[in-house]
Amino acid sequence: MKTTALNGVLLVHFGAFLRYFATLLVRYREKTKRTNRLMLGCGVALLITGGLLVWLRYPAVNYYKVIPKTAILVAISALTAANRTRALSTRTYRSLIALTVLAACIAAFWVA
């Protein structure tokens, strides 16, 4: 049962991450890049499902991987929430892309 729950939460986590990144990429061609409620919802979903993944795997958690990724996801959610009512500057947009790619690289490649 615990493995099924873990796989389900992991699937939701991956889906939210993919949806957030796809929404960022779709906004690339737009002149004024804006965040929306979907992006904020995906950011919050990433934080919640990330916490659930840690809770379901405790005590066998790789904290060297979890803590940096959580900090990056908090930064992504904070930037998205802070800019929800105005257009994103180029610097903020590029920061969101870079942080999202960095979080994906940590999730995929960091084995420590």
Q: What is the 3-state secondary structure (H, E, C) of 15-43?
A: HHHHHHHHHHHHHHHCCCEECCHHHHHHH
* pLDDT score, position 98: 96
Q: What is the pLDDT of residue 102?
A: 95
The total number of structural domains in the chain stands at 1
Expressed as residue numbers, the domain containing 90 is: 2-109
User: Which pLDDT does position 1 carry in this prediction?
Assistant: 61
| pLDDT < 50 regions, the chain | none
Question: Per-residue pLDDT tens for 5-30?
Answer: 889 999 999 999 999 999 999 988 88
How far is Cα 31 from Cα 22, in angstroms, rounded to an integer? 17
